[in-house]
Structure 1
Amino acid sequence: MVRGGQGLARVAVVVRAGAAPLWWLGVLTAGAGALVPGFTGRRIGVTAGAALFLLSALAVLLVRRKRYEALVRGASRAAKQDILQDRAVTVRNWRRGHRWWLLLAFAAALGSAFAVPAAGGMVLAGAGAGLRLKAAWIGRLEREAEALVWVRVDWLGRGAGAPAGARVKGLRSTGIAAGDAAPGGARRRGGAGVLV
């Protein structure tokens, strides 16, 4: 690493990293859970699951919203020595850091199907949808500010921390074309950008 520089990960990419695994684990678990009659019956389980899906997505979307807004507004300019972490590396680090939590959530959702069919899986899918929506919302903040926001990698703790957690003292900002992820954390079309 260049002397004086920090490794930086995109905030939106860290948030978005859990969306796909939670969504697909949720869909898989809900589908498998719907095959089990459970104590409540399939109809009640699916109805309850739909309500829990919406509540889970909304809760994930709204949690720490003011903290994110404050951090984005107070972001300081990244230094030329800072190193921008690739999108794929950030996603891999997050998923590696959360693999046991994902496995535990999958097992708990699958086990809950014997009580309320499909509901546990729909909670997981809702959390995944909420993360995707939150990343898109962060992308809107980035477009409004005409700057991308980054968090120091060492504050994430092996990629498993939250980009608005207690360890995070502030964010860094770059130009809108920096890095290889577009506003909101999606893969950038046309290759990687630069630090601007």
Structure 2
Amino acid sequence: MARGGQGLARVAVVVRAGAAPLWWGGVLAAGVGVLPPGITGRRIGVMAGAVLFIVAAAVVPLVRRKRYTALARAAVRAGKHDVLQDRGVTVRNWRRGHRWWLLSAFVAALGGAFAVPAAGGLLLAGCGAGLRLKAAWLGRLERAEDALLWVRVDWLAADGGRPVGKAVGSYRSTGIAAGDAAPGGARRRTAALV
């Protein structure tokens, strides 16, 4: 980076990056997982899966929420030489770094269907829904503060892609129109005004 600038990735985009693979992998695993009768039977498996989905979707958004809030409150303004990473690059990097974990989770959900049909897939889908809800919460936090939250790319890489890991010392902030992602990490619907 020129003149001491840092590469920065959006916090909400990093959180949201795992939501779609977990959701769609979970839906696929649950759909295929309904086919074998399993040890418990389909009805019990689907009911257990529904409970796991609800619990995961409720718990995942709450995990490390205090740490996110503390880092957001202490965020410092990004410097003019900092480089804002595109949304697509952040998503691609996170998914590439976690592809084996995502594949292992999908295979485990499929394998678990022979014991409890569809439950593992619904658990994965619940985790994906929970990440989406956490990203939406971050979006509300960003709107309330009127600032987007960013994390240094090198800290993110050092901590396995976790935006609230031990290597993350602080967040940076920019104006609400910076970057190519809206508050919460979704794609911007309209071009930002300069």
TM-score range (shorter-chain normalised) is over 0.9
Residue pair 2:72, 2:171 contacting (<8 A) in 1 also? yes
Q: Give the whole-Å Cα distance in 2 for the aligned partners of 1:78 and 1:42.
A: 53
Number of aligned residue pairs? 194
**Runs of at least 4 residues off by over 4 Å:** none
1:52 alignment partner AA: L
Indicate the residue corresponding to 1:140 in structure 2.
140
- The equivalences for 1:15-54 within 5 A come to 15-54=15-54
Q: CA deviation at 1:55?
A: 0.9
Residue pair 1:93, 1:159 contacting (<8 A) in 2 also? no
Q: Which runs of 5+ in 1 are unaligned?
A: none
After superposition, what is the alpha-carbon deviation per residue over 1:32-75, rounded to whole angstroms, capped at 9, x for unaligned?
00011000000000000000001111221110000001010110
**Percent of paired sites with the same residue:** 75
Q: Give the whole-Å Cα distance in 2 for the aligned partners of 1:171 and 1:25.
A: 31
Indicate the residue corresponding to 1:84 in structure 2.
84
Q: Any idea what SS the aligned residue of 1:190 has?
A: coil
Tell me the TM-score normalized by structure 2.
0.97
After superposition, what is the alpha-carbon deviation per residue over 1:135-172, rounded to whole angstroms, capped at 9, x for unaligned?
00000000000000000000111794210111100000
Q: Any idea what SS the aligned residue of 1:182 has?
A: coil
Q: Give the whole-Å Cα distance in 2 for the aligned partners of 1:122 and 1:177.
A: 36
Q: 1:193 to 1:64 in 2, by over 3 A?
A: farther
- The equivalences for 1:91-170 within 5 A come to 91-157=91-157, 160-170=160-170
Q: Any idea what SS the aligned residue of 2:4 has?
A: coil
Q: 1:193 to 1:123 in 2, by over 3 A?
A: farther
Q: 1:126 to 1:55 in 2, by over 3 A?
A: same
Q: Which runs of 5+ in 2 are unaligned?
A: none
Tell me the TM-score normalized by structure 1.
0.96
